[in-house]
Structure 1
Amino acid sequence: MSRLAPLCAIAFAGTAGAAPGIDDLMQRYDGPVPGAAVLVLKDGQPVFRRGYGQAVLEDGSAVTPASNFRLASVSKQFTAAAILLLAEDGRLSIDDPLKTWLPSLPAVADGMTIRQLLAHTSGLIDYEDLMDPADTRQVHDLDVLHLLEKQDRSYFPPGSDYRYSNGGYALLALIVGKASGSDFARFLRQRIFLPLGMDATVAHQDGVDDVPARAYGYSEINGRWQRTDQSPTSAVLGDGGIYSSIDDLAKWDAALYDERLLSADSLRQAFSPATATPEPDVPHYGFGWRINGDALWHSGESIGFRNVLLRYPQQKLTVIVLSNRNDPEPYPLALEIARRWRDAGP
């Protein structure tokens, strides 16, 4: 089969099998409140697939398995995959100096490499701390570059430590555009989303594309849900700008088990510990993936959204929770769903 052949059809007619108490865990998301979509995949098949609550409070639109949420930092695995695809194409090397592709960066970036951006070991200054708090305009990936061009300092020498960096992934998106001769959003669509049948997934650019079946983000403020769908950093694509659904993410998950998209070597690099981290839930970080024992996962948090994609490849078990609310962070929930499903047995 061609590595770019479309994913075989997955039947999503409804929830298969018994749900081991998942509805009880999801009660706070149900009803006329910002909701969530939950998917459990076992051996490549959906064994639980359900939406809770509302995607749009203003008109009462329900969350469904086709609802598209802003993935926030779950997007990073796609940014990393784009870099690995371009490395396979011979368009770049992950050990290229950063300034080979972004020469306008200051001298402090001289020792930084693409590999270090992927693993959060570059030492780049957080771009969020460089933004003018009085300026409410949205920044884009190119604006992140311009902010960093003015900073001839770093947190540590390149490669010597770990510090999670959204800015590093914004720069990776710019590199994808330069190396591909396209742009980041178009490259993702042509090389990842469409080949995998993720037809509704998009690196969203306001005024350029539309997000179908869009779930809007909300925050609970003074006891009332208020729409908080966008912040000044929501237009940055490389670190968190992808919208997708549990149905489309099932196709992404399936592609991570074989070579239909990425080669075995690229997958090994993505899933192997590239650096240790001081975070208790994240002993190691790969390329766009947090690694904890046999678990590969990533959370995504932005204003109005909290998401997690949790995989146990050895058990062929995946749990995805996407929510359009500011709280709670769903990683513990995904862990509990996975535990219950394992305990329930075949």
Structure 2
Amino acid sequence: MTDESVIGAIMLAYQGDVPGASVLVIRDGKSVVRKAYGFANLEDHELTTAATNFRLASVTKQFTAAAILLLAEDGRLSIDDRMRQWLPSLPAVTDPITIRQLLSHTGGMIDYEDLMPVTQRTQLRDSDVLHLLEAQDHLYFAPGTHYRYSNGGYSMLALIVEKASGLRFEDFLKQRIFEPLGMRNTLAYVNGGPPVPHRAYGYSESATGWARTDQSTTSAVLGDGGIYSSIDDLDRWDAALYDDRLLSDASRKLAFTAWTTTDDANVSYGFGWRITGESLWHSGESIGFRNVFVRYPQRHLSVIILSNRNGPEPYRMALAIARLFLGET
């Protein structure tokens, strides 16, 4: 079987009249696989393409981290600044938490998802997350002593970007990352703002078929998961992570350093990236979307899978595809 047919077999469940996926394999700076399967919009029968924009969910975190690192390069902030220097309305118990700890999920803040009222029907924004955290008088652990994945921490980072830059988070990303890299159709989506071009809608499968489940009460929080992008645009992002066109070598080393162990003994965490052996990766899961971005920088290989459905989690599919190009069986 050819690599393309093997990949087709791996992605078989995404083919046909079902929510789809886009797959990109980049080797030595060139796209060697760029495939799309299924539908971006079942109701209107819009096929998925390489330009289809999916909600990245937590794949967003690498961009939030990059925004912080750009501001550090500008001298607008230091990653060792205390969080409350920028967000003074937070309670005194959070005073020891640094930006570095937010980036590496070692701050210990309470999960904002657990603080939401059960009656919550309207979508939260990053500022709403701040208000939820303002009322907390305890942490999970002393900052810097443990790892606990924190969407709220990355929401706070988005607010710090706004404070330090004087721009809305979505505008900072557009001006400093997306436009310079030619990621023209990528955006942090805000209801009432620019629409998502070539938008994929999220779906969940039940006994009666596929139902649209595109947004939840947390889907409007930007810092932890609000970016929409395509494999075409992520191709440009991947290229920028090899040289100084966006981030300096020092900043990229900071992002890709294993700052902490995680709850998986085989995985460490950098700034917006998980680190496993020779790979850098991050998955993204939200209602109706499952994505993964896996990079092998020393081998100049990347595999990206974006999908608009509630399962399966595509990390192992990406690893299976990567093995085809790494000479592994």
Into which bin does the TM-score normalised by the smaller protein fall?
over 0.9
In 2: Cα distance, 1:24 partner to 1:114 partner: 43
Among 256, 273, 285, the alignment partner of 1:271 is 256
In 2: Cα distance, 1:270 partner to 1:184 partner: 19
In 2: Cα distance, 1:94 partner to 1:301 partner: 27
In 1: Cα distance, 2:3 partner to 2:91 partner: 57
The answer to whether the aligner puts 1:335 opposite 2:325 as a matched pair is no
Which consecutive residues of structure 1, in runs of 5 or more, have no partner in the other structure?
1-16
Using the size of structure 2 for normalisation, the TM-score is: 0.98
Q: Which residue of 2 aligns with 1:299?
A: 283
DSSP 3-state at the match of 2:118: coil
In 1: Cα distance, 2:98 partner to 2:174 partner: 26
Could you report, residue by residue, the CA deviation over 1:19-38 in whole angstroms, capped at 9, with x for unpaired residues?
A: 25100111100000000000
Among 221, 244, 247, the alignment partner of 2:206 is 221
DSSP 3-state at the match of 1:21: helix
The answer to whether the aligner puts 1:313 opposite 2:286 as a matched pair is no
Asked if structure 2 preserves the Cα contact closer than 8 Å seen for 1:20 and 1:344, the reply is: no
Q: Which residue of 1 aligns with 2:85?
A: 100
Q: Which residue of 2 aligns with 1:322?
A: 306
Q: Report 1:197-276 matches (<5 A).
A: 197-276=182-261
DSSP 3-state at the match of 1:194: helix
Equivalences, count: 328
In 2: Cα distance, 1:210 partner to 1:260 partner: 28
C-alpha deviation, 1:169, in angstroms: 0.2
Asked if structure 2 preserves the Cα contact closer than 8 Å seen for 1:50 and 1:65, the reply is: yes
CA RMSD in angstroms, aligned pairs only: 1.2
Q: Report 1:164-179 matches (<5 A).
A: 164-179=149-164
Among 85, 92, 113, the alignment partner of 2:98 is 113
Using the size of structure 1 for normalisation, the TM-score is: 0.93
Asked if structure 2 preserves the Cα contact closer than 8 Å seen for 1:68 and 1:243, the reply is: yes
DSSP 3-state at the match of 1:253: helix
User: Which amino acid is the alignment partner of residue 315 of structure 2?
Assistant: Y
In 1: Cα distance, 2:203 partner to 2:265 partner: 29
Asked if structure 2 preserves the Cα contact closer than 8 Å seen for 1:20 and 1:341, the reply is: no
Percent of residue pairs bearing the same amino acid type: 65
Could you report, residue by residue, the CA deviation over 1:97-142 in whole angstroms, capped at 9, with x for unpaired residues?
A: 0100000000110110000000000000000000012121100000
Q: Which residue of 1 aligns with 2:69?
A: 84
In 2: Cα distance, 1:142 partner to 1:176 partner: 13
Q: Report 1:41-52 matches (<5 A).
A: 41-52=26-37
In 1: Cα distance, 2:208 partner to 2:66 partner: 40
